């Protein structure tokens, strides 16, 4: 499955990217769309679009999507997650803008840093004629280990192992800048065959 197999999603994604790139602030495409574009095996096609930014990027990005807004950005602290969250719909495709994202799970605490860390490491892709940066797989690996999505982290781990040298340095940075429990580190070590 590729994005070409999902023409309606591809069309909406290209339209959203064109709008978002007018904001001149750092943001990344994450979630299943990003995984699909990085050749991670998914058991079902993406149904929505997940966008990530830092706190200061939320307002300018929201402005570019305002005509499609379902709600305004607000602090959302539900269960293990904390973020500034807002929702949009373009041609019936749901879009979620997540700012200042943090996850606290089973003794681990992980904070997503877009501009200062992840943006520089983000691979670039093109959707039709729109350039977009993708959430690095190292982040997706840590995120899915912390939320106990074994189906996802196993598939992401396989993709990382195909190009380990490109992904491991960022993974090590994420581990050093955040607090991960022994249990979560053990899963990462098993997946990567390393002592992180």
Predicted pLDDT of residue 126: 95
CATH number, domain of 115, equals: 3.30.460.40
Q: Is the pLDDT assigned to residue 196 strictly greater than 70?
A: no
Predicted pLDDT of residue 195: 67
d(CA 61, CA 54): 11
Rounded average pLDDT over 109-137: 97
Rounded average pLDDT over 85-110: 98
> Is the distance from CB of 137 to CB of 118 less than 8 angstroms?
no
Whole-prediction pTM: 0.96
What are the φ/ψ torsions at residue 15 (nearest 5 degrees)?
-65, -45
Name the residue range of residue 186's domain: 3-192
Q: What domain count does the chain have? A: 1
d(CA 40, CA 159): 6
Q: Is the pLDDT assigned to residue 40 strictly greater than 80?
A: yes
Bridge-based pairing state of the strands 130-133 and 49-53:
unpaired
């Amino acid at each position: 499955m590729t994005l070409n197999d999902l023409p309606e999603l591809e069309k909406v994604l290209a339209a959203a990217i064109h709008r978002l790139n007018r904001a001149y602030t750092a943001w990344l495409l994450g979630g299943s769309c990003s995984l699909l574009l990085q050749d991670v095996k998914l058991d079902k096609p993406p149904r929505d679009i997940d966008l990530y930014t830092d706190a200061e990027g939320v307002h300018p990005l929201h402005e570019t999507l305002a005509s499609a807004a379902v709600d305004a950005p607000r602090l959302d602290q539900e269960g293990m997650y904390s973020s500034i969250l807002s929702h949009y719909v373009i041609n019936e495709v749901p879009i979620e803008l997540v700012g200042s994202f943090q996850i606290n799970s089973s003794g681990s605490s992980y904070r997503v840093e877009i501009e200062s860390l992840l943006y520089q490491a983000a691979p670039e892709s093109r959707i039709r004629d729109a350039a977009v940066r993708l959430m690095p797989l190292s982040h997706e690996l840590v995120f899915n280990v912390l939320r106990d999505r074994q189906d996802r982290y196993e598939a992401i781990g396989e993709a990382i192992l195909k190009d380990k040298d490109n992904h491991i340095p960022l993974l090590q940075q994420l581990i050093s800048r955040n607090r991960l429990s022994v249990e979560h580190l053990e899963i990462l070590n098993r997946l990567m065959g390393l002592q992180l």
